[in-house]
Amino acid sequence: MATGTLYTFGYAGLHGGGDLRELLGQRVEVVVDIRLRPYSRKRAFSLGTRDTVETAPYAYRWLSGLGNAEYRTGGMRLARPEEIEVVIQLLAAGTNVALMCACAEVSGCHRRLVAELAGERLPGLAVVHL
């Protein structure tokens, strides 16, 4: 079976579920939330509110262990990097996965580290930063 594609995005420039669906389209089956806490000032990206990422047409999974434990200090360290196994299993099964966090730019964001970690585990993995 072919490995799925790993997409990454930050919701900083998005306004709600409609923007999310426009960004991801039908390319993705699972959105993996890699924030330490699944809450935001943007209601659409906070769990338990109406018109949230949970109600988008994608399976949703929150993995706090892939959150940046050093975000307050400006550093980057994954809280529990072993949680990458969940993402690896999805990708290895041929599922297209999108990693979601808040940051607008991937260059200074921990989602780049998560994507690199996945690439180390699955050589040849296609990664697309949206």
Domains annotated on the chain, with CATH:
6-129 (3.90.190)
- The pLDDT profile of the chain, 130 residues, written as one tens digit per residue, is 679 999 998 888 776 667 777 888 889 999 999 998 876 666 666 665 555 565 567 888 899 999 999 988 989 999 999 999 999 999 999 999 999 998 888 988 999 999 999 999 999 999 999 9
pLDDT at site 8: 95
pLDDT at site 81: 96
Q: In the chain, what is the straight-line distance between the N-terminal and C-terminal CA atoms, in Å?
A: 25
Q: Are strands 6-10 and 127-129 parallel, antiparallel or unpaired?
A: parallel
Question: Helical H runs in the chain?
Answer: 17-24, 84-92, 110-121
Rounded to two decimals, the pTM is 0.87
pLDDT at site 115: 97
* Distance between CA atoms of residues 117 and 84, nearest Å: 8
Other Cβ atoms closer than 10 A to 26: 9
